[in-house]
Structure 1
Amino acid sequence: MYRKSTSGAWKIAAREAKLDEARAKLTDALSALMNGAEFQRAIEFAARFRSHSFNNTLLIWLAHSEAYEAGRVAGPTPTYVAGYRQWQSLGRHVIKGQSGYMILAPVTAKFVSGNPADPGSWRKLERGPGPAAGEAVKSRLVNVRTTYVWDVSQTEGDAIPPLPVPRLLGGQAPEGLWDGLASQVFDHGYRLFQVPDAATLGGANGLTNFTTKVVSIREDMDELARCKTLAHELGHVLQGVNEDGPSHRGIAEVEAESVALMTLAAHGVDSSQYTVPYVAGWAHSIEGRDPLEVVASTASRVRSMAIQVLDGLDTLQIPDGAPPGLQQERLVSQSTGATAAPLSRQAVTL
């Protein structure tokens, strides 16, 4: 009995130690995102690995950088990542001696209720008899655990089939992007107008009026710039739709610009000409909130909104980080994808 108890306590301590390690890595990574250039790089990287949560993209980014510096992988940027058995299901196996990249995976439990409209009526379904007749069932995120993924360069075996990727010329917009973005603006009850120049909009490239529900874009720009501006304004539209949207103007602009950046990056557009506004200033300006929490929740909302935009587009997009042929669910939080508590001590939201 003593041995069994000791073994169980050791396993729990080991799991907590791994979670603490992941939280520490995320805290360091988020601290680096106070720099606007690093925040922009992280958003671009998230566009290439949008099948994972923002927090997990940071962990993958850090782990691959460490592997590259140690000479364990040949390239500075990962391509496709998957778990050990997932690679096996695709006819590949992890090369002996290759260390996996630690990420966070959800721990879910089933909850049941005889009155689903009452939030307080839900109870956890314990082992044994299933739900009673007429009870509703749903899964909830109750915890997180650590797990590991490997980049394709750390594996060998069957070839990975190439996927088509967008090929764009300078100033050219991805085919169908304008129409797809415009359709989403219309779907949210807004009208879209193109105006002659920036003077019509007080010097801006685009403008969203939440009162009249009108989005205006200046038309004297090349098609790529107009698409980028429309994606930015669609970000504002989504902020207005979401009840948990930012109340701080600086954050609202960073989020909208980041949604545009991630949307275009997912279409293979070089976004080096764009600049996300400086992050540290607004992150520290929110009274009563930890700057790391502000950055984490902002980045998670950006990813959530950008995924919503991208999923609503019928356009050719770059791969999302999951190997072709692998069905992988996106790991997001139950609602907004935001981190609900400081990362240093509390559970990390996926």
Structure 2
Amino acid sequence: MKILKSLLFTLISITMTAQSYKKSQPFTNTYSIVARDTVTGDIGVAVQSHWFSVGSVVTYGKAGVGVVATQSLVNPSYGPKGLELMAQDMSPKMALDKLINQDEGKAYRQVAFLNVKGEVATHTGELCIAEAGHINGKNFSVQANMMLKNTVWQAMANAFKTTKGNLSERMLAAMKAAEAEQGDIRGKQSAAMLIVKEKATGNSWEDTVMDLRVEDHKNPIEELERLITIHKAYDFMNKGDLAMEKGDSKAAETYYLNAQKLFPDNLEMKYWYAINLLNNKEFEKAYPILKSIFKKETNWKTLTPRLVKSKLLNISKQELEHVMQL
């Protein structure tokens, strides 16, 4: 009789705990990757789920420290707490073990830590919804739960290890591989990618390499890939602007052209390239570009003389008048 009472009490406790955690935490079953770029030292985390705004609850990172993916029945505190512990020189395993041991809902958690050395630690609780599992590799960890098939995390690992390119391209390849295995049993809805620098600059606004989110989309991985391409294009634009500030107009022209190759339909990129040509006194190259832009959107023509006042466009009054007649 005592044994039966003990078993009944245990079952009730487990049931109450399960209900409590399911009600109090986001049900973000998903797949993700944490990884390090051995060339640049950048560290990143990427995720996809059939859940709204998955990036707001799963992905965490801090330059000079590490990245975290916390998912399944999410306990968001693993993000900031994990980063804090790793910042105190705890290894990912020590940090994760410390938090897991304090968590009554650990059986429902799936969490991955990676530090700037490329060391990883991952926990997949025994009550995560099948199919669930993870693989740790050199400078990466992939993890998934509530997948249609148990082949997802192996496919992700293979894709990351065999894909050439920068960190965003390799993590994206892992995400695509998960989708090729049919991914989340429920489907797809949102995705995110966060990349931070190996070393903190002391200026937090300079430490993030990429922070992209697809909050709600019928094909979030495809949309994330599109945003990554645009991000690269604007990175070239930013480098072009910096080159212009330094007076290196030739370098700026190269950056602006690279941006246009990635985002050819963007009028703004074409516009600033043409403005740079005007500053270089390459009027014959600039005029047809500006004429085409002004024809499509007259506000760019309205903007042009304002640049002269702000000293971003250095041309004479006569030259400006010619531009305004295009």
Would you say same fold, with TM above 0.5?
no
Greater C-alpha Rg: 2
TM-score under structure 1 normalisation? 0.28
TM-score under structure 2 normalisation? 0.30
More helix by share: 2
